[in-house]
Structure 1
Amino acid sequence: DVLRRRPGAPGLDRVDVVQPLLWAVMVSLAEVWRAHGVTPSAVIGHSQGEIAAAVFAGAISLAEGAALVALRAKALTQVAGQGRMVAVALPADRAEEYLAPYPGRISLALVNGPGSAVVSGEPDALAELTARLTEDGVRSQWLPFDYAAHSPQMEAVRTSVTTALEAVAT
């Protein structure tokens, strides 16, 4: 219903909707590859992609992965509205140089490639940072999420997520 945007379906702007949906697409694509004879010798992922990789590798079952990603996404609703993320067209080391004036307020969240990183943290600090990046001719783009994934703000959901992991492990 969400993918087809049926009336009454929740929107993709909700973390508890988009994360399980993205995970399901990742797992589905991996199964399509497997059906066509693609058998990787290793799999990796980040964020909910780690959970998809664990399912594909056989480390956890499909049901365990689905439960884990849903519980993780639900936990993230606890921090919704408190942070943001911005993609920056910089290598990680250069991105970190820009973060120096914002200790504890913004952190390097993801390294997507040699010239692409994501920073996350407090919205006001990110607004200052993006203005500075623009002045310096560095491309940046706000991501459509209202939480600071992969940042110290995630400490607030640590217990919820680790409890979810324990439930899957037993």
Structure 2
Amino acid sequence: TKQFGVRPDCVAGHSLGEITAAHLAGILTLPDAALLVTTRAQLMDTLPTTGAMTALQATPDEVHPLIEDHAGQVSVAAVNSPTSLVISGDHGAVEAVTAHFQDMGRKTTALQTSGAFHSPHLDALLPELAATAETLTYQPPRIPLITATADPGDELLTPHYWAHQARHHVDYQQITHNLHTHGTTTYLELGPDNTLTTLTHHNLP
């Protein structure tokens, strides 16, 4: 964007995109960001093929009791808008939760993924991802990186954040809210499609 004279007032990202945003913010150099991305991708390639992810037309409050019924087998991977989220985990548990909402006439969409990202399936991979994150250099951001935490402070400069970011659920609804309260009035999505642009409209006043 620099060559067109465009400089963002702040940046944010969804899952893997948050690593890209960290580079654009100046937290990670390009080599360090690339190393984190490729290490994460290589580790995720080793995930069991028994995982599944499904997008649901549901609220977190509706989903959490069902998640508790399948503790350790499925979790919320992303909250994208007030009524749109993604669950991830063991295929059987994901199917059971999905069936509940299908019976209610809710929209459900199985995601074509190679594994159950942002789920308990990643727990075994975190030590190796953390080892890579420990080798990186973190600099204070030149451009604010907006996350789901209202004031992340120095959290973004720690290896722990960037290792466990792959495991924790993505709260895009809260990220959008924080962008709004930060004074954002114009949103530009950089990606292969307009998925987040569509979701953003549901998260803003």
Supply the RMSD in Å over aligned alpha carbons. 1.8
1:105 and 1:122 in contact (8 A); partners too: yes
2:45 and 2:114 in contact (8 A); partners too: no
1:39 maps to which residue?
A: 7
1:84 and 1:123 in contact (8 A); partners too: yes
Distance 1:118 1:34, change over 3 A: farther
1:159 aligned to which of 127, 133, 155: 127
**Any idea what the Cα deviations from partners look like across 1:96-127, whole Å, max 9, x if unmatched?**
24323222211111111222111111101111
The 5-angstrom pairing of residues 87-126 of structure 1 reads 87-126=55-94
- Normalised TM-score (structure 2): 0.62
Q: Percent identity?
A: 33
2:98 aligned to which of 121, 127, 130: 130
What letter is aligned with 2:72? G
Q: Could you say which structure has the higher helix fraction? A: 1
Matched residue SS, 2:69: coil
What letter is aligned with 1:138? R
2:165 maps to which residue?
A: none
- State the 1:64 CA deviation: 1.4
- State the 1:166 CA deviation: 1.8
- 2:43 counterpart of 1:75: yes
Q: Unaligned 5+ residue runs, structure 2? A: 139-205
Find the aligned partners of 1:72 and 1:169 in 2 and give their Cα distance: 17
- Normalised TM-score (structure 1): 0.73
Matched residue SS, 2:46: helix
Q: Unaligned 5+ residue runs, structure 1? A: 1-32
Find the aligned partners of 1:42 and 1:95 in 2 and give their Cα distance: 32
Find the aligned partners of 1:135 and 1:108 in 2 and give their Cα distance: 20
Q: Which has the higher contact order (CA 8 A, sep 6+)?
A: 2
Find the aligned partners of 1:138 and 1:95 in 2 and give their Cα distance: 12
Q: How many residues align?
A: 138
Find the aligned partners of 1:146 and 1:84 in 2 and give their Cα distance: 8
- State the 1:169 CA deviation: 3.0
1:19 maps to which residue?
A: none
- State the 1:139 CA deviation: 0.9
What letter is aligned with 2:15? S
- State the 1:82 CA deviation: 3.4
Matched residue SS, 1:130: helix
1:148 aligned to which of 116, 119, 123: 116
Matched residue SS, 2:66: helix
- State the 1:35 CA deviation: 3.3
